[in-house]
Each structure stands twice: as C-alpha cells, then as structure tokens.
Amino acid sequence: MSTETSAQRLAALYREGQAFWSSPAGQAVRHAERACLGPACERLFGVHSLELGFGDLLADMCPVRHPLSWAPTRELAETSSTLVCAPDALPLPDDSLSLVVVHHLLEVAPDPHHMLQEAARVTADEGRLILFGWMPFSAGGMGRLSPARRRALPWRGQWRAPGRLRDWLAFVDFEIERVDYCAFHLPGRLPRNTLFETLGRRHNLPLGDSYMIQACRRPQLIQSRGSRLRFTAPLGGSALGAARLNADAEAPREGACHKQRRPALE
C-alpha cells in the first residue's frame, strides 16, 4: 500500500469519525467521558500534550500549557497546533510529552500495536498515557451484533477489553494505574441518564459503553538521567513534520534506559 493511499484511507476514516462524534450519540458519550477525565486532569501538569482521535480535544480542560491535536493530512488540520502525520509514526522526540491521550483510535487504527508503541515512546517518565476504548460487552456493544452496523463507526474495528490492553501496555513498559467506566445507559437509549451515570461511576461498574485507562511507565524502569532532548520553542504549525531539538542536549548517561521500537505483538 502506498503512502498516499494510506493517508487517503486515514483521511476518510477521520472524516467518518468526526461525523460520529458530532452526532447526538457521539456528543452524549463525549460528555460522559469528559466527566471521567476531569478528576484525572486535576493531577496532570506539564508543557506539551497530544491527543490522537477524531473529535475535538477531549482533554482541553487539563492544565497543560501547549496541547497538540492530530490529523492524518494537512487539509484536515483545523488549528496551528495540529500534528500532521501517521498515528504510528509521530515526529516527536522520546519522552517529550506530559500527557498523551488515545481516544477510540486503537479499535480502527491500521497498525494499533505500533501506534501504542509510539504513544508510549513520546510519553515522559513522569507523564501519563490515557486510553479511551469501547467495552465489548455493554449496551452499546450490542449494536455490533448487526453485521450492517459493524461496517460503520463506532461499531467498526476490533473492540478490546481493558484486560487485553493491560498486556499491550506491559509490552511497552507501562502499567495501568486505574480503569474508569463511563457512558451508562439502557439498550437503545443514549447515555444521558444522570442517575445511571452517577451510580455507574460511583461504583465503577464495568457496564458502561466506554472505559478510560490511566497508565504510567513502570517505576523500576524510570532511572535518573541527565539533560533530556527538549523543544527549543513551542510546537506548532498545521504541517508540523518534525520537532526541533536543543543541539546542546547531553547524551544519555551510561546505564540509562534506551527505548527502541519493538516488533509488533502477535
């Protein structure tokens, strides 16, 4: 598959995702997920963050000074702080972001294993990686029983439970801190029932349409290191291709942990 064809397919998927997240059903789920993310954002600070997904920024309430959005092509970049690239080839330095959010993209990404590796690679040791996914066994998941529906978002793709992603995260040296469930409703209804949402979140029942995983790098792998590669200026530009680095950044000290791109999981 050529690069141009891959970009075109990603662009078509991106537009379809935007259409869903702007629909009443998408907006209802988004509202519930923002409520889940809010308490986590209160503890997240930093300079740079990145959100990989199809809708508007979900984590815009987080106190991170320079949030980046993502788009697969220049034409789809809506702001000057949009990273234009393939989601499994981020043009960013290692450990450069305080927060990385992957919002319902692992289900439909062409190469979800490498995309998760890239998201982990650019997350700083003290940063957080947050994954949003669809629960396979939920009221919304019942819609996937129809073969016709499974050809459209959000029912398309491979839905994975948090336990499966625990193994994926361990492969990239991350571990789950917490899993929260959100978007509770009866079959055939939108997740707008305040009572259901309150009870479901209070008891953190694994019955919501979606879940939010908070993950961090394994503590035993975080080592004291010298000066790290860092940005010389705030990232920006809708056609951002590669981040500039300080030329005087020190080389990693002897014994430092080096990150390499791993082969994909089977």
Q: In the chain, pLDDT over 70 holds for what percent of residues?
A: 81
Higher pLDDT, 7 or 241: 7
Average pLDDT over residues 224-240: 47
Partners of residue 68 on adjacent β-strands? 50
Higher-confidence residue of 221 and 79: namely: 79
pLDDT of residue 224 exceeding 50, the answer is: no
Phi, psi of 16, deg, nearest 5: -65, -40
Q: What is the pLDDT of residue 243?
A: 40
Partners of 50 in the β-ladder: 68, 100
**CA separation for the pair 187, 32 (Å, rounded):** 16
- Quick one: pLDDT at residue 195? 86
Sheet holding 174-182, edge to edge: 82-84, 64-71, 46-52, 97-103, 123-134, 210-217, 174-182
pLDDT for 186 equals: 86
Predicted confidence (pLDDT) per residue in 157-192, tens digit: 999 999 999 999 999 999 999 999 999 988 888 888
Q: What is the pLDDT of residue 221?
A: 62
Residue with more model confidence, 254 or 77: 77
Question: Pairing relation of β-strands 97-103 and 82-84?
Answer: unpaired
Question: Does residue 227 register a pLDDT over 50?
Answer: no
pLDDT band per the 50, 70, 90 thresholds, residue 4: low
The pLDDT assigned to 124 comes to: 95
pLDDT at position 94 is 96
Please tell us whether the domain made up of 1-217 is placed in CATH 3.40.50.150: yes
Q: Is the pLDDT of residue 252 over 80?
A: no
* H or E segment and range at residue 10: helix 3-21
pTM of the model: 0.82
